[in-house]
Each structure stands twice: as C-alpha cells, then as structure tokens.
Structure 1
Amino acid sequence: MQTSFISADNTWVLWAIITGWAAFSIFLEQKYQWAAKISGAIIALVGAMLLSNLRIIPTDSAVYDQIWGYVVPLAIPLLLFKTNIKKIWKESGRLLIIFLISSMGTMLGATIGYLALHNYIPDLSKIAAMMSGSYIGGGVNFAAMASSFEVPGELVSAAVVADNLLMALYFFVLITIPAMAFFRKKFKHPHIDQVEQIEIKADETIASSYWGRKEISLKDIAFSVATAFAIVAISTELSKYIGTLIPTDNSVSNTLNMLFSNKYLIITTLTMIGATFFSDYFENIKGSQEIGTFLIYLFFVVIGVPASIILIIQKSPLLLVYTTVMVVTNMIVTFGFGKLLKFDLEEIIMASNANIGGPTTAAAMAISKGWTSLIAPVMLVGTLGYIIGNYFGILMGNLLM
C-alpha cells in the first residue's frame, strides 16, 4: 500500500498545510488578475488535489473529518449573521423551482447512463440509486442508498472515488462559468453585475476590493466566534433530541426525522431567526463574513483532497463515465430550462451546484463569488435535497433494477 510523504496522523503539519494553502489562495486571488478570474476557491481546490495525487498529503485523515465536522458548521452561522428571514423566503421560491428542475436532470442522467452502460458495469441499478440520492441530496443519501440496496463495499468505494473527482471537476466548471462571455451573453446575471460595480483601483482585483480592510474590534471577533459556537452547540443538541423524538420505523417518519433533525437546517434556521428578530445585535457584529469565509476556504482545500486520479484509473473508469453522464445531463437540463424560464445565471449555477455537491458546496461558491443574497436560499433548498434525495434514489433503484 502506497503512503503519502506526510502521514495521516501528522495532525499539526496537515493543519498547517490546509490553512497555509487557503491563505495563499486568498492572497493570489486578491493580488493577481489571473488568479481573481480563476478564483481563490479553485486555486485552493486544485492545489489540494495536486498535493494528494502527488502523495505529499494523504487522501484520508481525521483532520479532514474535523473540517467537515467542526469548521463547516461554524462557518455557516458566521456567514448568515446579516440575513433577514423575510427576504430569504421571498428569494428562495425561485431557487426552489430551478432546484427541482435540476433534480429531474439528475434522474434523467441516471437513466440515460444506465441504458448506455448497464451491460458493462455490474449492479449499475444500485449505483444509480446511490448516485441519484447523492446528486440530489448529499453524502447522507449516498450512504442511505448503499445500505438500502446492500451495495457491495468495493463498489461503494469505487463510486466514492469517482464521485469525489467528478464533483471537484464540476465545481471548477461552475465557478468559471460566470467569467465566460457565452453565458454572460445568454443569461441575466444581476448578482455578478452587483459585485463588478464595486469601484476597483488600478492595482486591485474584484476580490481585494470586495474584501477590503474594515473596522473591527476584539469584541467583534469575540462575539462573532462565541455566537457561532453557541448556535452550532444548540443546533447539535436540538438535532440529537429531535432525532430521538421522531421514530424511523417507516419511510414517512424516517423522512420527517431526517428533515427536522438535520443539523445544518437547524443551524441555518436558528441563525436566520436570530438575524431577523435580533437584527441590532447581529448587524453590529463586524468581521463575521471575513472569519466565515476563511473557514470556508479550508473546506475548499479539503474538497480537492480525496479526488485520487490514480484510483479512478485503477478501479473505476467506467463509473467515472457514468457519473459524468449524470452530471452533464443535469447541467444541460438545468441550464436549458433555466434559460427557457428566464432564471438568472447565478440561480441556475446555484441550483445545479446544490444538486451535485449539496448545500455546503453551493453556499461556499456563493460566498467566494460575493453573491451574499443567495447564501441562505441555497442552503435551504440544498438541505431540502437531503430529504427528497432518498425518495428519488429509491425510485431510481427500483425502476432500473
């Protein structure tokens, strides 16, 4: 078994690399125009992918789990401190429609891929169930479908590898689309226009102008971090408690359990309620956006780590083809109907991202692009995907079996 230069249990060095590379990605984005066009998020992701594929850092480590388990939940409330729930519900309606259309694209892609490849990939109907659940919901749906259809462990591992690589590549595609003249010409893009209207000096990039120096005090940092920790702690305990109240002995109650005990949905809801009804407190805290965004950059780095190109070539090239068919079909359907129904380019991108990557990757992209008004709506519709993902996954698995 091949090992990396830095071992998986070398915690401090891995944390130093992750935080250092995230910081360097932000520096490049704010210093150079070419990096600003690529975006710091993509630099962070691609750099981590190269480090893991060159076996400098491991593809799996408890450090990465800590970022998923602690850093991402803390980033969410920090980035929602100035969110007004009344505006969110008004803005989420449109995004929900295009998200559901995008889900149909995922199912169509799963079907097309199955018809083309089922003679070459064993148990493809089971993989279709897993990937449909994952590409409408997320990792929890992937695991649930793998368990429901009793998918062999080796097949699950191969699918995970294909999924990780493709998600990273598609994230790269989606985050570069706003800079492409073709898409700017064909779609409305008010959020992009708003960011680009910010006055930029000759030696600045859009990123450095947007994230310019702001007045901030020790009290602001203390209140930002302490409030975020409190929200996550309360949400985690509520999630556990609600999970024990709602039974899971049938599909309906199990779905209700997943909905109401979902930690991310509770974090989002509590933060939005606080930001709406205690707006004076939340709006006066400075620096929460900056702290939350840096935490999300750590997440960008971790996204790229598991995408092992060698494992794809060795174990799952056909699975990569299948997942590519699903993602490309999702993209065609989402952008096609988005254009037909006159959705904004940013809404279309967010809907497709929330399907394929889940609410965290979609929110992360909105943050990196400065589309702040879309952060909370995409978290809401993306979290809904966790619920409907199991339904669609079970439907696809049974239809194609």
Structure 2
Amino acid sequence: MDFITNPIYVLAVLCLMVILAIYVGKTKFGKQFGAALLVILFTAILANLKLIPSASNSIDLYDGIFKYIAPISIFNLLLNVNLTSIKKAGFPMIGLFLVGSMATTLGILLSWAVLSPGNVLGEDGKVIAGMLTGTYTGGSVNFNAVALEYGFHEKGILYAGTIAVDNVITTLWIMATLTIPIFLRRVWKGKTNLKSPTSTNDEVHDYDESIDLTSLKWLVFLGVAAYFISEALSGLLPKIPSILILSTIGIVLAQTKFVANLKGSHSLGLYLVYIFLAVIGAYCELSAVTELKDIGMTLFLFAGSAVLLHGIIIILIGGLLYRDWEMIAIVSQANIGGGTTAIALAETFDRRELILPAILVGTLGNTLGTYLGFFVIYIL
C-alpha cells in the first residue's frame, strides 16, 4: 500500500478529518469535546490503524506542516490581537507558567523517587529525565538540546521510543486540558474570569468569519513573507527564536488599520491550526510504546506520572490564586505541549485575549526548559 505514504493522499485525509471534526464539533454530542480534540482523536485512530503514516514512518509532509504551517497559523491568529490584551492576561499567565515549570520539575523528581525508572533504564534514565523536564517545560526544542549534549540521539531505539512516549503523553494531555475546564467548573466554581466582555473590542480586533479574495491574497502573502523575513532575521540573530520574530511582525501588523480590516485571518489561522493538530494526532503511535515492552512501559509510567503531578500542582495553585480554569489549562498546555497547542486551546475556548500571552509563555518555556533539564540531570 504505497499510497499510504503519498503526501497528496495524506494531505487529503488530514483535510477530510478537519472537515469531519468541525461538523461533528457542531453537534450536541461533539460540542462536549470541540473540533480541536476531535481532529486529534480522528487522526490518531487512523494512524494506529496504519491508514496514514505515524511517528515511526513519518513523511516529509508532516515535517513541512511542523516547520511552515504551524508558525504561519500563529501569525494569522495574531493578526486579531491587540497589545493591550497582555495587561489583563499576561502577568497572571506568566506567573502561572513559572509555577507550571516548577511543577514539571517537581513531578519528574517525585516520579523518579517513587517509580525508580533508573532500575530499568540505567544511567540513560537520568538523561531521559532531563529531556522530559525540558520538553514538558516548553517544548521539543529543549528535549533535543539536552539529548544532543549527552549524545542520546545516537541511542537509536531508546531515543525513538522516548520520542514515541513523549508524543503519546503530549497528545493525551492535549485531550485532558481540553476537558479539564468543563469538569472543574462543575466541582470547583470559578471566581476569576479574565475574558474580555464580548460587547467591546478594546483588546481584540473583531473578526468576520467570511473571507474574500482580496483579504485572502493579502493574508497568504503576509504569512509567507513574514515567515521568510523571520527566518532570515533569525539567521542573523541566532539567539532570538524565529517564532518570536514572526510573532512580533504579526503583532505589529495587527495594530495597523489595513490589516485590521482584512477579513478571515482568524478563520484561516484556525484552519491551519487544525491541520497542525491533525499531525499531532497522527504522531500518537501506541504500538511504538508497546514494542519496547518493559522499557516502553517504564517510560510511559514515568512520563505520565510526572505530567499528572504537574497537572495536579498547577490546578491546585492556579485554583487558589485565580480559578480561571481555561487560563490554567492553556498555561499547562504551554508547558507540556508548547506555544502552538496552547494557542489551539485559546481558540477552542474562544479566549482570543489569551493568544498573545500564550505566545509569550511558550517562548519563555523554550528559554527555561533546557536549563531545568540540565538541573534535573545534575540533581539526580
């Protein structure tokens, strides 16, 4: 079945799953989950049924979506954001993000003490603990930074297995953070809501779901051009992440009347986010975990318990301080999955005023995660 790896076939399936998720997400049953969670579930099922490629037989299309589509989707979503949004949501989110980062570190250390994964993983266990600390603080950049420092990427099967476990845990946590606010609102009534009143547009540009040809041609051009410029500037300024440069360009453009009047940037950005989430679902490969047997289960329990402890800590502290469950879920997702998935949550929850803060904390995670990863290795 060579067509399974055909990029046109795979792209068509991803687009079909987005269509299906959006339709199902509008039904009475589907509204309980939302289109973002549904598209992850649909593509995860197809990948595990071997109907589309998964992490172990990834194709260039997936890499292209991660490299190009995800950043451009963020850019388009930022075209609806005004700088004043950070006044209300920014500082609480940054504070909670730091709490979440410490919760990740504590979760890794507690899981290590309770489960003793070093008995199965040997000395590699400490490096894996540092890699997981990094990736669950701000994303895969930190995961690979720690791995490269210790030459862990040369350990073939174990390295691939750790990535597989990370993909599965990250996908499960996306599902969890999409549903946690619904559950918590029932058992622990929220007292703080940073969401802007829907009757005003002081913080976020209003948007029209429709899109015309004039707006589309400009949005496509701006997205591609901004991405090119951000990559070029990142090459000249290697210490500044390209996503931060791209986000800055989007934020600056969002303040102009011309861009504010373009229609459909929100719809286009959200659609691209769904394509990105479809690949996240495809990467959730359960067979890769089970094939490692004892090592795979040890990795899964170790990573899973660490993320669970992170969730418990950030929910308790966030609940005591703010009790804005959607914001807490977005911050936690910025830790575990990174800025792009955090933005997807903000869109799903219709919390557009949290998009810019999600970008900021995601960038902060890229900076902080590597340091915490090395710190954990040193402690262990």
Normalization by structure 2: what TM-score?
0.90
Give per-residue Cα distances to partners, 1:65-106, cap 9 Å, x unaligned.
111111111111111112122332553111000000000110
Report if the CA contact (8 A) 2:71-2:227 is conserved: yes
Do the aligned partners of 1:79 and 1:289 also contact (CA within 8 Å) in 2?
yes
Query: Partner residue of 1:379?
Result: 359
**Structure 2 spans left out of the alignment, 5+ residues:** 200-205
- 2:207 and 2:266 in contact (8 A); partners too: no
Match of 1:54 among 44, 49, 54: 49
SS of alignment partner, residue 79 of structure 2 = coil
Partner Cα distance (1:287, 1:310) in 2: 40
Cα separation, partners in 2 of 1:215 and 1:347, compared to 1, 3 Å: closer
Among 175, 178, 188, the alignment partner of 2:178 is 175
Deviation at 1:274, TM superposition (A): 2.2
Confirm or deny: 8 A CA contact 2:195 2:353 kept in the other structure: no
Equivalence for 2:203: none
After TM superposition, give the deviation of residue 5 of structure 1 in Å.
6.7
Q: CA deviation at 1:217?
A: 2.4
- 1:20 and 2:16 aligned: yes
Match of residue 29 from structure 2: 34
- Quick check: 2:207–2:263 contact (8 Å CA) kept in 1? no
Match of 1:155 in 2: 158
- Residue 359 in structure 1 maps to residue 339 in structure 2: yes
1:125-204 equivalence runs, <5 A: 125-151=126-152, 152-180=155-183, 182=185, 185-188=188-191, 190=193
Distance 2:146 2:157 in 1: 15
Task: Give the equivalent residue in structure 1 for 2:202.
Answer: none
* In structure 1, distance between residues paired with 2:131 and 2:213: 47
Residue 233 (str. 1) matches residue 231 (str. 2)? no
Deviations along 1:84-135, whole A, 9 cap, x unmatched? 2233255311100000000011001110121222223322111111000110
- For residues 258-306 of structure 1, the C-alpha deviation after alignment (integer angstroms, 9 at most, x for no partner) is xx2x111111112112223x2x112101110001111111011100112
Residues 335-359 of structure 1 deviation map (CA, whole Å, 9 limit, x = unaligned): 1111122242122111110000000
Distance of aligned partners of 1:80 and 1:112 in 2 relative to their CA distance in 1, 3 Å threshold = same
Match of 1:7 in 2: 4
AA in 2 matched with 1:7? I
Q: Secondary structure at the match of 1:164?
A: helix
| Cα distance in structure 1, aligned partners of 2:236 and 2:275 | 30
Amino acid at match of 1:142: F
- Aligned partner of 1:84 among 82, 85, 97: 82
Q: How far, CA to CA, are the matches of 1:328 and 1:284 in structure 2?
A: 43
Cα distance in 1, alignment partners of residues 186 and 195 from structure 2: 12
Shift, 1:138, TM fit: 1.1
Which range is displaced more, 118-127 or 290-299? 118-127
CA distance in structure 2 between the partners assigned to 1:271 and 1:193 by the alignment: 21
Residues 85, 356 of structure 2: 8 Å contact kept: no
Residue 121 of structure 1 is matched in structure 2 by 121
Displacement of 1:221: 1.3
The offset of 1:184, in angstroms, is 6.2
Report the alpha carbon displacement of residue 155 of structure 1 after superposing the two structures with TM. Answer: 2.0
Matched residue of 1:120: which SS?
Answer: helix
Q: Which whole-Å deviations, capped at 9, do the CAs of 1:201-247 have from their partners, x for residues lacking one?
A: xxxxxxxxxx997454211111222122221121111111112xxxx
Report what 1:248 is aligned to. none
Aligned 8 A contact 1:72 1:295 in 2: yes
CA distance in 1, matches of 2:244, 2:89: 17
**Pairing 1:272–2:275 present:** no
Name which of structure 1's ranges 391-400 and 170-179 shifts more when overlaid on structure 2. 170-179
- Superposed, 1:211-226 pairs within 5 Å as 214-226=209-221
SS at match of 1:33: coil
1:292 pairs, out of 269, 288, 292, with: 269
If the length of structure 1 is used for normalisation, what is the TM-score? Answer: 0.86
1:307 partner letter: C
In structure 2, what residue type is equivalent to 1:171? I
Q: Where in structure 2 are the equivalents of 1:305-344 lying within 5 Å? A: 305-315=282-292, 316-344=296-324
What's the Cα RMSD here?
2.1
- Whole-Å Cα distance in 1 between the matches of residues 207 and 353 of structure 2? 19
Cα distance in structure 2, aligned partners of 1:392 and 1:146: 13
In structure 2, C-alpha distance between the alignment counterparts of 1:24 and 1:332, rounded to whole Å: 33
Letter in 2 for 1:311: A
Q: Tell me if structure 2 keeps the 8 A contact 1:114–1:125.
A: no
> Cα distance, 1:193 vs. partner?
9.8
CA distance in 2 between partners of 1:75 and 1:85 (Å): 19
